């Protein structure tokens, strides 16, 4: 892409003089080359290849057989796919609760009292625990015999609930487990954002009589926009990547009710009774298309920011 | 300052607030504290149905001893280290260079390459799964730590480039310009002028990437199997199968698996949060 | 179907004879094996794990130039990983299951044909009873290392307390169950999180309602799931479900996690394979408290058939050290090793080698008796081993759903029928 802007390069190409004269064009190339190469090979090309594979029937070993849109046609009549898609929507919507949740805790903790720094870290640290462990922790939390949840419910006189065993509740139970670290993440974003809120504006608004909710809505939140944007981005990505928790907590069950696209794809592509790479790729493509809507939006937002001086 | 500093409220409100925080914190961490509590109980308590009562004896040392000396856990932990550390080094090194290129030079396509990294960083893993597994097989790196490291380095480069490029853009350009005027070669500018200024970014990224990679489960399952190469996130499921229904041991195992990133966070807190929240403030 | 032998009873009976002199095979040719032998194993529960590690250690010792490396993978996770490693990074030896469960890997060319081993007289003579279960398309694809009876393990002390007898027929089983429920207990512990335990119940009720041949036809896809006879099986099952015979929330537990219900006396019995005995004893049940009965008859005209799943070792076709792998398979099935690993303090299961002796243990002896003479109807492998894997996975999800929501039966059968038409 640099050649297009090359001005008149004369004669002695190749010598050290040439390198010297074009160093401003060569340097970024050299610096970019390894990273871009890696990224192309392991990320960009595979995305394209997955699109291609989704038009084939392929067991991962033998020859690929081109079947056009057959995989997608099968998807449209596959009840498990429908369940996964609906669950993905639930994840997308409910996961966004992490944003107000994080904001709420951030507002609660945004004080300067003794020990507040420690408290903030302790509130935050669920985020650094791996999802596998979060999944285990919440599986035990929900356990119908000894789980803390049911012990508590019993103490206040409510019947036991088997969250992960009930197909109507299981997905919500897993989302709640996922919200735990995600709220922590959003909280830390907002705490940082709140640090940078302009005190003069707050004072001025106070003099105008703005209180609590009005203040929050009209004065504070607009200043927290960058934090909200990042919280939104990471939460959406987190929701669509949900895999670990499902795999650990229910393995898709009971009777397939907690599958999401990412999990179903894995099941189909690497299952015991046959690799359906093409079908799996088709599921992944659908997931990718959903993500693409958001990626487009993110990039557009960033592009607008870049335009601003 | 919002909300209004608590110091401006009544004495009663202050005391309420101060005593409320630990209570809320306790509730917040309850599921985790429960596991920590389980991990010091003897197995007999669980068979006897004594889940929440006082432990009949404190078996913390015994339980954790089992995790460390009678299971494959130490191997899994070592694997995690051997996967995570090279990934951090690789991803940070590559992204220092890409970030430098995209942050310092003006050339056509700069923004497009940048956006490629950003967009790639957001894709769902599953769309990469089949081809990356295939590629790893072809390279003969299936079920090796190296196979995982290469992929992680490549994928993390997306996020790290986004981070580094924005960081470098915020550096004072005068330094670079001054060096150029003096005729300093570009790679020397990178090495001697920019890199030293990037130390905080490098620290922040290293901690972040460490956590991300340590906690990875999906790729560990797709590209590796067994104790010779699987990291601890995948190993914990084997561990749990070995001690299924032995909640005291599974709890201890989970805590051990979770600990390294937690320790990393508490030790490097400032860098960690600086990394996570870059961009949260304009 | 040829893989499950109806003649097994007779052949197995021979093995009650005194153990023959140990096979001489592995004594002589020990030192010529070299390199590494990698074994992937799914024997992840504590007792089987110890057995596997011990076997590997002994084999390693017998062959000084050979390095034996064992990787033990969670038994449930193994089922999803096996295809991945067989095609991507095959070990030299891998665990699996007999009968149709081998089919996908045999068809994909991932298992090595080991018919040559079965031609060796040592194996041919002593393992004849299981040959059928390892045979597909006229060739043998692995060797068995153990098999075991299924049955109802129950709390003898609770039965005595309530004055209950081991049931011989369905009515008694139900009346026993009612008595248990009236005493504030559940009749049966079960954990269906990993689905196959529900298939055990389906199989037994189906075998007792319609018999062995019907089971084989159903798993072979020859009978529609919407057939009235299938509904009859489910109707019988439903009687128990409606009584509240099973523990609550079983869909959240693995079979191991459901054990405490039995150990604590909240449930009085457990339909399971004999491998459950070891953890029950370990959890504190004594021989006075624990006993075993054959699943009772439902339709008296149907001959009793039993489940006797066989677990196996295979050589992946991509293995590096096939010579050592074959020698390991010989070692596994040798009479001496069979006696040792299946003993009560090992797997606590039944040896596949007729020259080996059955462990000196009440449950093992009873189980051996049961399979040798108590199952004139035939020996089935298990639902997920007799049916093709894909059908099994859809069907078992349906069984679990049925146990929780029996009203969904029509829906479930419709789904299974759709799957049947697609898969076979």
| CATH number of the domain that residue B268 is part of | 1.10.3720.10
Is any Cβ of chain B less than 8 angstroms from the Cβ of A227? yes
State the nearest Cα–Cα gap between A91 and chain B, in angstroms.
14
Cβ <8 Å between C71 and B240: no
Any domain includes C57: yes
Contact of C319 with chain B, judged by CB distance below 8 Å, is answered with no
Mutate: best of B53, B130, B176, B254, partner A, most A CBs <10 A = B130
> pTM above 0.90?
no
Half-sphere exposure of A191 (CA within 13 A, CB side): 24
Measured distance CA(B153)–CA(A35) in Å, rounded: 9
Provide the domain limits for residue C138: 8-147+308-378
- β-strand partners of C135: C140
Burial class, A212, CB count within 10 angstroms (exposed 0-12 / middle 13-18 / buried 19+)? exposed
State both tokens at A301: 């937002």
Q: Cβ B241–C81 below 8 Å, yes or no?
A: no
Q: Which residue of B has its CA nearest to C73?
A: B238
* CA separation for the pair A87, A260 (Å, rounded): 6
The radius of gyration of chain A's CA atoms, rounded to the nearest angstrom, is 25
Helices B247-267, B60-69: inter-axial angle, 10-degree rounding: 80
Q: Which residues of A touch B154 (CB under 8 A)?
A: 38-39, 41-43
Closest CA to C308 of C355, C252, C369: C369
Any chains having at least 3 CB pairs less than 8 A from chain B are A, C
Q: Which residues in chain B (25-84) have CB-CB distances under 8 A to chain C?
A: 46-47, 49
Closest CA to C17 of C373, C415, C364, C354: C354
DSSP state of B215: T
Q: Does C83 share its domain with C204?
A: no
Measure in Å the smallest separation between the Cα of B49 and chain C Cα atoms. 8
Q: Which 1-40 residues of chain C touch chain B by CB within 8 A?
A: 40
- Say yes or no: C180 and C95 in one domain: no
Do the chains contact at B47 and C84, CB–CB below 8 Å? no
Is B265 contained in some domain? yes
Smallest CA–CA separation between C84 and chain B, in Å? 8
Residues of A in contact with B120 (CB under 8 A): 39, 43-44, 47
Same domain flag for C257 and C399: yes
Residue with tokens 């597994």: B133
Write out the two tokens for C103: 């089919």
CB pairs under 8 A between A and C: 63
Residue B133 lies in a domain: yes
Tell me: ipTM over 0.85: yes
- Strands C93-97 and C310-314, by their bridges, are antiparallel
Q: C105, C194, C251, C416: best mutation site toward chain A, by most A Cβ within 10 Å?
A: C251
Residue B3 covered by a domain: no
Please tell me which residue of chain C has the smallest CA distance to A253: C193
At residue C213, the pLDDT reads 95
CB of C66 within 8 Å of a chain B CB? The answer is no
Do A129 and A181 meet the contact criterion of CB atoms below 8 Å apart? yes
Are both C250 and C398 inside the same structural domain? yes
Q: How far apart are CA C40 and CA C85, in angstroms?
A: 9
Residues of chain B with Cβ-Cβ distance to C71 below 8 Å are: 225-228
Check if A86 contacts B (Cβ < 8 Å): no
Q: pLDDT at position C6, please?
A: 41
- Look at A35 and B211 and tell me if their CB atoms are within 8 Å: no
Q: How many other C-beta atoms can be found within 10 angstroms of the C-beta atom of residue C191? A: 23
Please judge whether A47 and B128 are an interchain contact, meaning their C-beta atoms are less than 8 angstroms apart. yes
* Subunit contact A50:B130, Cβ cutoff 8 A: yes
User: In three state form, how does the secondary structure of C298-345 look?
Assistant: CCCCCCCEEECCEEEEECECCCCCHHHHHHHHHHHHCHHHHHHHHCCC
Q: What is the CA radius of gyration of chain C?
A: 21
Q: Which residues of A touch B130 (CB under 8 A)?
A: 46, 49-50, 53, 60, 269, 277, 280-281, 284
Domain for residue C247, yes or no?
A: yes
B196 touches chain A (CB under 8 A): no
Predicted confidence at residue A203, as pLDDT, reads 87
Closest approach of C393 to chain A, Cα-based (Å): 9
Q: Is residue C1 included in any domain, yes or no?
A: no
Indicate whether C167 and C258 sit together in one domain: yes
Domains of chain A as residue ranges with CATH? 3-53 (no CATH), 76-307 (1.10.3720.10)
- In a shared domain, residues C21 and C100: yes
pLDDT score at C88: 83
Inter-CA distances, C282 with B43, B109, C279, C286, Å: 12, 68, 5, 9
CA B55 to chain centre: 34
Report which DSSP code applies to B7.
G
Nearest to C73 among B46, B225, B244 (CB): B225
**Nearest residue in A to B215, CA atom:** A130
CA distance C188 to C227: 28
Please indicate whether, in this complex, the C-beta atoms of C46 and B227 are within 8 angstroms of each other.
no
DSSP chain A: --GGG-----S-TTSHHHHHHTHHHHHHHHHHHHHHHHHIIIIIHHHHHHHHHTTEE--SSS--EE-TTHHHHHHHT-HHHHHHHHHHHHHHHHHTTHHHHHHHHHHHH-S--TTHHHHHHHHHGGGGS-HHHHHHHHHHHH-TTT-HHHHHHHHTT-----GGG-TTTHHHHHHHHHHHHHHHHHHHHHHHHHHTS-HHHHHHHHHTT--HHHHIIIIIHHHTHHHHHHHHHHHHHHHHH--HHHHHHTTT-STTTT--HHHHHHHHHTBTTB--HHHHHHHHHHHHHHHHHHHHHHHHHHHHHHH--
The number of distinct structural domains making up chain C is 2
Angle (nearest 5°) at CA C227 between C224 and C229: 125
With an 8 Å Cβ cutoff, are A272 and C415 in contact?
A: no
Same domain for C411 and C369, yes or no, is no
User: pLDDT (tens digit, 0 to 9) for every residue of chain B, 282 residues total?
Assistant: 678 888 888 999 999 999 999 999 999 999 999 999 999 998 888 877 788 888 888 888 999 999 999 888 999 999 999 999 999 999 999 999 999 999 999 888 999 999 999 999 899 999 999 999 999 989 989 889 999 999 999 999 999 999 999 999 988 889 899 998 998 888 999 999 999 999 999 999 999 999 999 999 999 999 988 788 999 999 898 888 778 778 899 999 999 999 999 999 999 988 888 888 876 765
Shared-domain flag, residues C178 and C254: yes
Q: Which of A267, A268, A261, A263 is nearest to A246 (CA)?
A: A263
How far lies C406's CA from each of A218, B207, C34, C126, C234, in Å? 54, 52, 57, 45, 9
The Cα of C260 is separated from the nearest Cα of chain B by a number of Å equal to 7
Residue A10: the pLDDT is 44
Distance CA(B251)–CA(A143), nearest Å, equals 14
- Residue B23 pLDDT: 95
> Does a structural domain hold residue C3?
no
Q: Are residues C89 and C216 in the same domain?
A: no
| Residue A244 near chain B (CB below 8 Å) | yes
pLDDT at B43: 83
The alpha carbon of residue A288 is apart from the nearest alpha carbon of chain B, in Å, by 6
The CA distance from B68 to B60, in Å, is: 12
Asked whether residue C134 falls in the same domain as residue C261, the answer is no
Task: Provide the CATH number for the domain around residue C198.
Answer: 3.40.190.10
Q: Which residue has the tokens 């200024």?
A: B197
Which residue range(s) make up the domain with B237? Answer: 69-276
Bridge partner residues of C144 (DSSP)? C312
Tens of pLDDT, residue by residue, chain C (424 residues): 343 444 444 444 344 333 344 443 444 444 578 899 999 999 988 889 999 999 999 999 999 999 999 988 888 888 878 888 888 889 999 999 998 889 889 988 999 999 999 999 989 989 988 898 999 999 999 999 999 999 999 999 999 999 999 999 999 999 999 999 999 999 999 999 889 999 999 999 999 999 999 999 999 999 999 999 999 999 999 999 999 999 999 998 889 889 989 998 999 999 999 999 988 988 889 999 999 999 999 999 999 999 999 999 999 999 999 999 999 999 999 999 999 999 988 898 999 999 999 988 888 999 999 998 888 988 999 999 999 888 998 899 999 999 999 999 999 999 999 989 988 8
Which of B98, B106, B121, B127 to substitute to test the interface with A, most A CBs within 10 Å? B127
In a domain, B111, yes or no: yes
In a domain, B34, yes or no: no
Positive or negative, the Cα torsion across C91, A269, B210, B256? negative
Cα-based angle B272, B274, B280 (whole degrees, multiple of 5): 125
Q: Per the structure block, which two tokens stand in for C331?
A: 């070692």
In this structure, the answer to whether residues C162 and C289 fall within a common structural domain is yes
Distance from CA of C249 to the nearest CA of B (A): 16
Cβ pair B261, B214 in contact under 8 A: yes
Please give the Cα distance from C359 to C351 (Å, whole number).
Answer: 9
C74 touches B at CB < 8 Å? yes
Q: Which of B142, B237, B245 sits opposite C74 (nearest CB)?
A: B237
Residues of chain A under the 50 pLDDT cut: 1-13
Per the CB < 8 Å rule, is C400 touching A254?
A: yes
Number of compact structural domains in chain B: 1
A179 touches chain B (CB under 8 A): no
- Which residues in chain B are contacts of C264 at CB distance < 8 A? 47, 49
Residues C294 and C320 in one domain: no
């Amino acid at each position: 892409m640099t050649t297009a802007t090359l001005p008149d390069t004369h004669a002695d190409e190749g010598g050290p003089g040439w390198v010297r004269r074009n160093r401003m064009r060569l340097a970024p190339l050299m610096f970019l080359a390894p990273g871009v190469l890696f990224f192309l090979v392991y990320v960009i090309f595979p995305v394209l290849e997955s699109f291609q594979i989704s038009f084939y029937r392929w067991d991962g070993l033998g020859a690929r057989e081109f079947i056009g849109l057959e995989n997608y046609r099968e998807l449209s009549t596959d009840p498990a796919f429908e369940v996964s898609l609906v669950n993905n929507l639930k994840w997308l919507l409910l996961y966004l609760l992490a944003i107000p949740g994080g904001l709420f805790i951030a507002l609660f903790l945004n004080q300067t009292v003794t020990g507040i720094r420690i408290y903030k870290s302790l509130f935050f640290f669920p985020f650094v625990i791996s999802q596998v462990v979060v999944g285990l922790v919440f599986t035990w939390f929900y356990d119908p015999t000894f789980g803390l949840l049911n012990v508590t419910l019993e103490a206040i006189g409510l019947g036991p609930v088997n969250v992960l065993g009930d197909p109507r509740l299981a997905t919500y139970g897993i989302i709640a487990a996922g919200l735990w670290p995600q709220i922590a993440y959003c909280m830390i974003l907002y705490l940082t954002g709140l640090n940078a809120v302009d005190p003069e504006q707050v004072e001025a608004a106070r003099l105008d009589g703005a209180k609590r909710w009005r203040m929050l809505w009209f004065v504070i939140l607009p200043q927290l926009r960058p934090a909200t944007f990042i919280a939104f981005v990471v939460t959406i990505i987190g929701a669509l990547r949900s895999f670990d928790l499902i795999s650990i907590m229910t393995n898709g069950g009971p009777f397939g009710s907690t599958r999401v696209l990412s999990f179903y794809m894995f099941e189909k592509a690497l299952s015991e009774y046959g690799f359906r790479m093409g079908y799996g790729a088709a599921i992944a493509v659908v997931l990718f298309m959903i993500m693409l809507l958001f990626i487009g939006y993110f990039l557009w937002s960033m592009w607008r920011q870049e335009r601003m001086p | 300052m919002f909300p209004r500093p608590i110091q401006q409220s009544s004495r009663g409100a202050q005391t309420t607030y101060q005593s409320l925080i630990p209570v809320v914190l306790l509730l917040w961490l309850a599921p985790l504290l429960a596991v920590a509590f389980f991990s010091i109980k003897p197995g007999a308590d669980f068979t006897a149905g004594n889940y929440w009562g006082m432990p009949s004896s404190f078996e913390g040392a015994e339980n954790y001893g089992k995790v460390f000396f009678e299971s494959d856990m130490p191997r899994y932990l070592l694997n995690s280290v051997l996967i995570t550390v090279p990934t951090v080094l690789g991803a940070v090194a590559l992204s220092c260079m890409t970030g430098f290129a995209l942050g310092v030079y003006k050339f056509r396509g700069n923004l497009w390459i940048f956006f490629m990294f950003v967009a790639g960083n957001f894709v769902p893993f599953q769309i990469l799964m089949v081809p990356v597994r295939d590629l790893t097989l072809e390279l003969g790196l299936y079920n090796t730590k190296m196979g995982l490291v290469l992929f992680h380095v490549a994928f993390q480069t997306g996020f790290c480039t986004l981070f580094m490029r924005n960081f470098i853009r915020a550096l004072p350009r005068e330094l670079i310009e001054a060096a150029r005027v003096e005729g300093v070669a570009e790679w020397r500018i990178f090495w001697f002028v920019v890199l030293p200024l990037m130390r905080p970014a490098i620290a922040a990224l290293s901690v972040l990437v460490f956590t991300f990679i340590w906690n990875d489960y999906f790729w560990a399952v797709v590209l590796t199997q067994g104790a010779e190469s699987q990291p601890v996130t995948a190993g914990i499921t084997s561990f749990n199968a070995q001690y299924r229904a032995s909640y005291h041991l599974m709890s201890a195992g989970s805590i051990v698996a979770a600990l390294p990133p937690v320790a990393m966070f508490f030790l490097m807190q400032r860098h960690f949060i600086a990394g996570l929240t870059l961009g949260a403030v304009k | 179907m040829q893989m499950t032998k109806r003649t097994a009873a007779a052949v197995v009976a021979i093995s009650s004879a005194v153990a023959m002199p140990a096979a001489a095979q592995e004594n002589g040719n020990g030192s010529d094996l070299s390199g590494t032998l990698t074994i992937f194993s799914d024997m992840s529960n504590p007792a089987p794990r110890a057995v596997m590690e011990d076997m590997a250690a002994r084999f390693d010792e017998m062959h000084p130039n050979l390095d034996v490396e064992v990787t033990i993978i969670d038994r449930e996770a193994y089922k999803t990983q096996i295809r991945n490693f067989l095609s991507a990074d095959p070990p030299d030896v891998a665990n699996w299951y007999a009968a149709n469960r081998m089919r996908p890997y045999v068809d994909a060319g991932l298992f090595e044909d080991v018919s040559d081993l079965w031609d060796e007289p040592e194996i041919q003579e002593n393992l004849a009873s299981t040959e059928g279960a390892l045979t597909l398309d006229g060739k043998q694809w692995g060797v068995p290392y153990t098999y075991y009876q299924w049955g109802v393990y129950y709390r003898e002390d609770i039965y005595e307390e309530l004055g209950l007898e081991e049931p011989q027929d369905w009515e008694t089983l139900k009346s026993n169950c009612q008595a248990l429920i009236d005493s504030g207990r559940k009749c049966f512990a079960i954990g269906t999180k990993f689905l196959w335990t529900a298939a055990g119940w389906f199989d037994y009720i189906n075998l007792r309602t319609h018999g062995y041949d019907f089971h084989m036809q159903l798993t072979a896809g020859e009978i529609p799931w919407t057939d009235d006879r299938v509904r009859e099986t489910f109707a019988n099952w439903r009687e128990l479900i409606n009584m509240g015979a099973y523990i609550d929330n079983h869909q959240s537990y693995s079979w191991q996690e459901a054990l405490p219900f039995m150990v604590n006396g909240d449930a009085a019995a457990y339909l399971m394979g004999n491998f459950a005995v070891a953890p029950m004893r370990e959890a504190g049940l004594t021989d006075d408290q624990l006993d075993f009965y054959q699943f009772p008859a439902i339709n008296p005209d149907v001959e009793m058939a039993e489940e006797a799943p066989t677990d196996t070792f295979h050589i992946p076709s991509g293995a590096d050290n096939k010579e050592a792998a074959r020698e390991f398979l010989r070692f596994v099935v040798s009479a001496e090793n069979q006696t040792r690993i299946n003993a009560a303090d090992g797997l606590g299961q039944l040896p596949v080698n007729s020259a080996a002796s059955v462990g000196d243990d009440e449950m093992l002896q009873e189980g051996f008796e049961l399979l040798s003479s108590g199952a004139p109807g035939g020996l089935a492998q298990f639902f997920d081993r007799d049916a093709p894997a894909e059908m099994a996975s859809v069907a078992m999800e349906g069984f679990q759903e049925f146990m929780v929501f029996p009203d969904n039966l029509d829906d479930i059968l419709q789904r299974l029928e759709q799957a049947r038409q697609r898969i076979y």
